[in-house]
Amino acid sequence: MADKIRVRGLSVYYGELQALRRVTTSIADRAVTALIGPSGCGKTTFLRSLNRLIDLIPNTRVEGQIFLDDVDVYSPGVDVVDLRRRVGMVFQTPNPFPKSIFDNVAYGPRIHGLSNQRRLEEVVEQSLRRAALWDEVKDKLRHSALDLSGGQQQRLVIARALAVEPDVLLMDEPTSALDPISAGRIEELITELKAEYPIVIVTHNMQQAARIADWTGFFLHGELVEFAETERLFTAPKEPRTEAYLTGRYG
């Protein structure tokens, strides 16, 4: 399978603290890549360096390269706004804007200059359908997004990300704030979406990674300890530190 993203020797420093240590890996196209590891291991930093959201944190320094389709996203000529349009992100807690369902999904297209109402309606419907939410909200698009349940909000947020037609989807623990049923729905959705997108998901839930990911990377102390096919990583990890973490003998 073709690699959508190639990461080469990526190190990230928050001031004096080194959050990532020379991470080198590749993210496959049209597949789910899960990142696991204990809290503070660098997996979220890795995710947020892919769309340069870590730029928002003062005193951050990045070394190494991240190639998205052969363009280094940290090279000087790169337009961060365009990069972030191409790399969609879903966060840990559902964070719809305090606007209507329609305006939430239309937000991205609008800021990127789409103002034709008919076209907007098409995009909104299509995105909501792809996020498996359309049937539940088609009659109340003008209602506040905050009236939706947590699981619906998370699917809305996914629809919002899909509306700008990204090349990659990043998800930062997308189900950790949801009940098991809603989480299951999101997992199903992720499995469907991988037919179209490469998806990178950070999760604390190893079973979730085992269920939905094709590839899994294990981070520890800012280091990518092991990266392998999910099945292999969870049944027969090669690195003793992965083994120790997976069997709960870590630390």
Partner 1 sequence: MGTPPRRTLHVELEALQDEIVRLGGTVSAALERAVRSLKERDRTLAQAVIDADVEVNRAALEIEQRSLTLLATQQPMASDLRALGATLKLVTDLERIGDHAKGIARVALRLGDEPLIKPLIDVPRMAEVVREMVDRGLQAFMSRDQDAALAMAALDDEVDRLYRAVFDELLQIMIDRPGTITQATHLLMVATHLERAADHATNLAEWLLYVLTGERRELND
Partner 2 sequence: MGRGRRPAGTYWRLDPDLVARRARRLRVERLYSWGLGLLAWSVVGLIAAILGVIVWQGAPAISLEFLTQPPREGMRSGGIYPAIVGTLYLVGFTIAVALPLGVGGAVYLTEYARPGRLTRLIRLAIVNLAGVPSVVYGLFGLGLFVIFLGLGTSILAGSLTLALLILPVVITTAEEAIRAVPRSLREASLALGATRWQTVREVVLPSATPGILTGIILGMARAAGETAPILFTVAAFFLPRLPVSIFDQVMALPYHLFVVSTQIPNMPVELQYGTALVLVGLVTGLNLLAAAVRARYRRARRV
Closer CB to partner 2, 52 or 185, in the complex: 52
* Of 136, 165, 163, the residue nearest 151 (C-alpha): 136
**Among partner 2, partner 1, none, what does residue 118 contact (CB within 5–8 Å per kind)?**
none
Provide the sign of the torsion angle of the four alpha carbons 95, 215, 9, 241, taken in this order.
positive
User: Any contact of residue 198 with partner 2 (CB under 8 A)?
Assistant: no
**By rule CB under 8 A, what string of x and - marks binding of each residue 58-97 to partner 2?**
x----------------------xxxxxxxxx-x-x-x-x
d(CA 199, CA 196): 9
Using DSSP's 3-state secondary structure scheme, residue 117 falls into helix
Distances (CA, A) of 181 to 89, 114, 160, 190: 22, 35, 21, 14
d(CA 111, CA 172): 23
Closer CB to partner 1, 158 or 246, in the complex: 246
Looking at residue 37, its amino acid is G
Query: Radius of gyration of the chain from Cα atoms?
Result: 18
Closer CB to partner 2, 161 or 209, in the complex: 161
d(CA 92, CA 23): 23
- 195 near 30, Cβ under 8 Å? yes
**Among partner 1, partner 2, none, what does residue 248 contact (CB within 5–8 Å per kind)?**
partner 1
Among 71, 146, 228, 244, binds partner 2 (CB under 8 A): 146
**Among partner 1, partner 2, none, what does residue 85 contact (CB within 5–8 Å per kind)?**
partner 2
**Among partner 2, partner 1, none, what does residue 206 contact (CB within 5–8 Å per kind)?**
partner 1
Closer CB to partner 1, 50 or 233, in the complex: 233
Contact footprint for partner 1 (CB under 8 A): 206-207, 210, 232, 234-237, 242-243, 246-251
Closer CB to partner 2, 1 or 111, in the complex: 111
d(CA 31, CA 25): 14
- 215 near 182, Cβ under 8 Å? no
User: Any contact of residue 107 with partner 2 (CB under 8 A)?
Assistant: yes
d(CA 51, CA 208): 23
Q: Which residues bind partner 2 (CB under 8 A)?
A: 51, 53, 56, 58, 81-89, 91, 93, 95, 97-99, 107-108, 111-112, 146-147, 157, 160-161, 164
